[in-house]
Structure 1
Amino acid sequence: MITVKAPGKLYIAGEYAVVEPGMPAIIVALDQFVTVSITQSDEIGSIESKQYQENSLYWRRNGDKMVFDNRDNPFHYILSAIRFTEQYALEQGKKLKLFKLNINSQLDSEDGRKYGLGSSAAVTVGTVKALCQFYGLVLSKDEIYKLSAIAHLDVQGNGSLGDIAASVYGGWIAYRSFNHGWLRAQRHVATLSQLLDMKWPDLDVQMLQPPRDLELMIGWTGSPASTSQLVDKITIATATRHEAYLQFLKASKACVTAMIQGFETGDLAEIQHQITINRRLLQELSTLSEVSIETTLLKQMCDLAEAGGGAAKTSGAGGGDCGITIISQQVNTQAIRDQWQLVGVEPLDLKVHEVADMTID
């Protein structure tokens, strides 16, 4: 049996802007995992997971039509990861085999609700890694990222793929997304093997080392949010307010770049200052787009953390899920946790997924 793990993630800064090529974000991988096990089968293949069952369809009404949207169903990402990894295996001269795939996730609550820790990305990366081992394919982290990104984007259709990067590289990373239009064009003319060998325009992943006294606090609102749908709404809204959106991108880039420098110099105060600025920028984007990013409960969570000495903001697309707080380890955070619980925010006792090797392949 082959068993691999892929960690979940949280966005620290740079959300929404990062969907544009070259725009920076900071993301952290967490010590909660999707575990994928694979064994060869002689008679029939199977995909099993107690968390991910293909027994639900999600749809909305568009006039008189039923429109199905399964971009938040991890089962589809598993199938896409299998399809593209096996296509790559065929290109490498491998013979396809039957297998049994078992998937277990720590990235959802016990009652099945999502924490917003990037379960679809982690299950994509985990499936790709397991199948690569199964077929004897030796890929670097960069190549695993590219193959996983292609499979994930084929289902979701939008997003920065930063959650894929966090699951592949682990730890704290500075991430800049690739040009999606370039990839779409290349897929018509290049094989997967060629795509994995290419340099992808604007793509960049940099490992970061946090200050020693930095503590990451995570609060969960208990309300799931759909990243793909929120990104859709922002894209539609900002298309008619292009100049204001460009100003948001410029300000976000300056903010996250300064925050990256704070990581490089070990300056916790600078990181906290930029977190506060990034929160304000996302609030302005929310007003601009009329999309609810910082919900009432997320606002309460952030305000309580700031009053307790931390710098706080929404994480990821917002609209629910989690918020994060960057605070000094010298501060007693129990009071903040207690206040969060009083308003209905659950503190998540999660640690950063540590990486022994900080190099990028």
Structure 2
Amino acid sequence: MNQVVASAPGKLYIAGEYAVVEPGHPAILVAVDQFLTVKVSHSETVGTIHSSHYSNIPLQWRRENGKMIVDERENPFHYLLAAIDYTERYVKECKKELSIYHLGVESELDSSSGLKYGLGSSAAVTVATVRALLKYYDLDITDDLVFKLSVLAHLSVKSNGSFGDIAAATYTGWLAYSSFDREWVREKLNTHSITALIELDWPAFMVEQLSPPEELKLLIGWTGSPASTTSLVDQVRAKREAKEENYQFFLQESKSCVEKMIRAFRDKDLSAIQKEIRQNRLLLKNMSESTRVPIETSALQTLCDFAEQYNGAAKSSGAGGGDCGIALFDRKASLLDLVSKWEEHDITLLPLQVYTRS
């Protein structure tokens, strides 16, 4: 069999962070034109998994009684192997015979020095692996299938996120998304086949591709300080219990804000979008103060404050605590001075564009 190749883009959150981990609370994301690529080719005896993203040494595996066998002591590939596991379970339900293969990963989602930009590499490697294996086994591929298999893989490794990064890597473009009831999915997984579960409507799950106003320009700044989404989400969850009333108010206000922003996208109203970006920044700052979890770092505040001086609407992107900030402008605005000010404060403009799969 010839080599098959599949890619998945990185992502950035525009609005709705933290609230989106709760079912039915929307967020807006974009897929960006930096990619993670997976290549799969047939092998007769021993398979390998190789990624310079994780390690320069290939991880070897073999198949026994239809199962992939890996020495867990040598395994840095948790998300990737979970993606293989759930995709192969689906492949077997489709009555396809499993084979042995070499799988390679190439990533553009980190800096040249290996630092993470916060573009969602775990989601991208999962989505690209699922797509590549479905293609390798010559199965029909739909975005819903790829998304749900990728989600099941992440649930199996105890991911605490919203899976919005998986949605962006799967559906691409500008995206409105709300997460599903994960307890419902876990319960159904105990009583349904993978195929049957994928065919069900998942409660509270919503995805809608958005078309931005023509005059909207998105700038992405990187603070040079990687952050851990998993750790920050855990911190918010641990501290919300003491101030549950504040957290519920945050959820309610975030949902209202993002729903207004979604309507503004539909109406092609840039000023209304910018207004809700500013409101979402304020909500996140208030939630950060309530939980004492650092979301908008001093570098991110600098990024946002400078953008506001040039009539942009800016905020942290994703879990915050470092990584990237985003700013939305009118395309006619001259922003060379802003970029210079960012650079003077060690904020790097990332030359990324929104990616929509054709």
TM-score tier by shorter-chain length is over 0.9
Q: Secondary structure at the match of 2:183?
A: helix
* Cα distance in 2 between the residues matched to 1:156 and 1:297: 31
1:274 counterpart residue number: 276
SS of residue paired to 1:15: coil
Contact 1:156 1:228 in 2 (8 A): no
Alpha-carbon offset, residue 50 of structure 1? 1.2
Which residue of structure 2 lines up, in the alignment, with residue 247 of structure 1?
Answer: 249
Q: In the alignment, which of 171, 179, 182 is matched to residue 181 of structure 2?
A: 179
Aligned residues of 1:74 and 1:119 also touching (Cα < 8 A): no
Please list, as runs of the form range in 1=range in 2, the aligned pairs for 1:223-302 lying within 5 A after superposition. 223-302=225-304
Segments of structure 1 that go 5 or more residues without pairing to the other structure are 56-72, 357-361
Which deviations, in whole Å up to 9, do the C-alpha atoms of 1:207-261 show, x marking residues without a partner?
A: 1000001000000011111111111110111122111111001100111011001
CA contact (8 A) 2:79 2:122 kept: yes
Counterparts of 1:1-361 in structure 2, within 5 Å, are: 1-53=3-55, 75-356=77-358
Q: CA deviation at 1:125?
A: 0.1
CA RMSD of aligned residues (A): 1.4
Are the aligned partners of 2:50 and 2:56 in contact in 1 as well (CA < 8 Å)? Answer: no
**2:7–2:37: 8 Å Cα contact kept in structure 1?**
yes
Q: Shift in Å at residue 75 of structure 1? A: 2.1
Residues 156 and 115 of structure 1: CA distance in aligned 2, closer, same or farther (over 3 Å): farther
Q: Which runs of 5+ in 2 are unaligned?
A: 58-74
> Structure 2 CA distance, aligned partners of 1:74 and 1:166?
24
TM-aligned CA distance change 1:110 to 1:235, over 3 Å: same
Q: Note the C-alpha offset of 1:282.
A: 0.2
Aligned 8 A contact 2:6 2:38 in 1:
yes
User: Equivalents in 1 of 2:178, 2:342: separation in Å?
Assistant: 32
> The residue matched to 1:240 in structure 2 has which SS?
helix
Structure 1 segments, 4+ long, off by >3 Å, are none
Work out the CA distance in 2 between the residues paired with 1:85 and 1:216: 35
Give the conservation status (yes or no) of the 8 Å contact 2:135–2:141. Answer: no
Contact 1:33 1:107 in 2 (8 A): yes
Aligned counterparts of 2:169 and 2:56: Cα–Cα separation in 1: 23
State the percentage of identical aligned residues: 49
In structure 1, C-alpha distance between the alignment counterparts of 2:6 and 2:96, rounded to whole Å: 21
Whichever residue aligns with residue 270 of structure 1, its letter is A
Letter in 2 for 1:229: S
SS across alignment from 1:225: coil
Q: CA deviation at 1:51?
A: 1.5
| CA-CA distance at 1:300 after TM superposition | 0.6
Q: How many residue pairs end up in the alignment?
A: 340
